[in-house]
């Protein structure tokens, strides 16, 4: 499985790459990476198209565990363009990056 450190994510977002947040709705609403699309982990099997892209899609959760599980599931289903974000949303915030709240994405 491909993985990047959260410190590398801002440049990927600036380049136009998609970020998918697989946390629960209440976690997403509290704080999420700007532009991140919300697809809760338990709904990933029903939303494979949200991850299909000609570019890499960066999958994020709170620290990297759930997004890793999502990535492995997606790879097993033939969606191989996914990249786990190690450090997750918590790491994003620790680096001082901006977050959005509510259901803006």
The residue-averaged pLDDT of 17-22 equals 98
Domain region containing 8: 2-94
Active-site annotation holder among 33, 61, 74, 83: 61
The reply to whether 71 belongs to the active site is: no
pLDDT at 104: 55
Say how many domains are in the chain. Answer: 1
Using the predicted structure, report yes or no on whether residue 100 has a pLDDT greater than 70: yes
- In a domain, residue 53? The reply is yes
pLDDT tens per residue across span 36-92:
999 999 999 999 999 999 999 999 999 999 999 999 999 999 999 999 999 999 999
In this prediction, residue 105 has a pLDDT band, given cuts at 50, 70 and 90, of: very low
Q: Which pairs from 22-30 meet CB under 8 Å and 24+ separation? A: 22/59, 22/60, 22/61, 22/66, 22/67, 22/70, 23/61, 23/62, 23/66, 23/89, 27/62, 27/89, 28/103, 29/101, 29/102, 29/103, 30/101
What's 81's domain CATH number? 3.40.250.10
């Amino acid at each position: 499985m491909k993985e990047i450190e959260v410190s590398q994510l801002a440049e990927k977002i600036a380049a136009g790459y998609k970020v998918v947040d697989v946390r629960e709705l209440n976690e997403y609403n509290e704080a999420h990476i700007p532009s991140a699309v919300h697809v809760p982990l338990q709904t990933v099997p029903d939303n494979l198209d949200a991850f299909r892209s000609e570019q890499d899609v960066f999958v994020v959760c709170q620290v990297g565990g759930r997004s890793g599980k999502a990535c492995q599931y997606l790879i097993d289903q033939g969606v191989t363009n996914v990249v786990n974000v190690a450090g997750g949303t918590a790491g994003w915030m620790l680096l001082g990056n901006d977050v959005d709240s509510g259901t803006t994405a």
